[in-house]
A = this chain, B = another copy of it.
Amino acid sequence: MGREIERRFLVCDSRFLDGRTGERIVQGYVAKESGAMTTRVRIRADRAFLALTGPRQGLGRDEFEYPIPVDDAWQILSDYCGGRIVEKTRYNVAYADHLFEEDVFAGRNAGLVIAEVELAHEAQPLILPTWIGEEVTLNKRFGNFSLAQFEGPTLPEDRRRPKGPVPTRHLQAMH
């Protein structure tokens, strides 16, 4: 278990990311009850994780995260996350003494870039680079769960199931 203390910011200029290599992340939410923990499945490059995160308390929240098989993660995302899926590419950017995780969103949230920085404690001073914009740490609109809620396609295109009957070939391959 970890307790995460982090601050989140909009990124107003992400051109400095051009040419860098990021990790693709697809994550979805299994169940959400107000005030309860959130159950999240995340596929990050070729690994997958199941996480329980508690409600935010100030800048912090409890997080329990465990590796799970990637195939399980795709199945849960496909069958049990409904429309609550986020797709993004994460870049790690060191600046001053901080590590900013910059998430460039795709799909419905395309155009949105959010930087997260983890702190050792809530009062830790933070030196902000020029490309950092408005702080959204406490703005639920920009929380990962809110960003995952939409009515559009539920999975990245390369993982969407074909409409209509599943081709026989596919069924054979599974047995």
Interface size on A (CB < 8 Å)? 23
Q: Please name all residues of chain B whose beta carbon is closer than 8 Å to the beta carbon of A158 when the two chains form the complex.
A: none
| Cross-chain contact B36 with A1 (CB below 8 angstroms) | no
> What is the CA–CA distance of A32 and B37 in the complex, to the nearest angstrom?
10
Q: Please name all residues of chain B whose beta carbon is closer than 8 Å to the beta carbon of A62 when the two chains form the complex.
A: 75, 79-80
Contact of A80 among B36, B50, B72 (CB under 8 A): B36
Instruction: Flag whether A46 is at the interface (Cβ < 8 A).
Output: no
Of the listed residues A36, A38, A71, the one surrounded by the most CB atoms of chain B closer than 10 A to its CB is: A36
Q: Please name all residues of chain B whose beta carbon is closer than 8 Å to the beta carbon of A31 when the two chains form the complex.
A: 30-33, 36-39
> What is the CA–CA distance of A64 and B69 in the complex, to the nearest angstrom?
10
| Cross-chain contact A37 with B39 (CB below 8 angstroms) | yes
Question: Which A residues from 57 to 81 make CB contacts under 8 A with B?
Answer: 62, 64, 66, 68, 71-72, 75-76, 79-80
| Cross-chain contact A50 with B66 (CB below 8 angstroms) | yes
Closest chain B residue to A1 by CB distance?
A: B72
| Cross-chain contact B80 with A54 (CB below 8 angstroms) | yes
What 9 pairs between A and B have smallest CB-CB spacing? A31-B31, A39-B39, A31-B36, A31-B33, A30-B37, A37-B80, A1-B72, A64-B72, A31-B37
List 29 A-B pairs, Cβ < 8 Å.
Answer: A1-B71, A1-B72, A1-B75, A30-B31, A30-B36, A30-B37, A30-B52, A31-B31, A31-B32, A31-B33, A31-B36, A31-B37, A32-B33, A33-B33, A37-B76, A37-B80, A39-B39, A39-B52, A50-B50, A50-B52, A52-B76, A52-B80, A54-B79, A54-B80, A62-B75, A62-B80, A64-B72, A64-B75, A66-B68
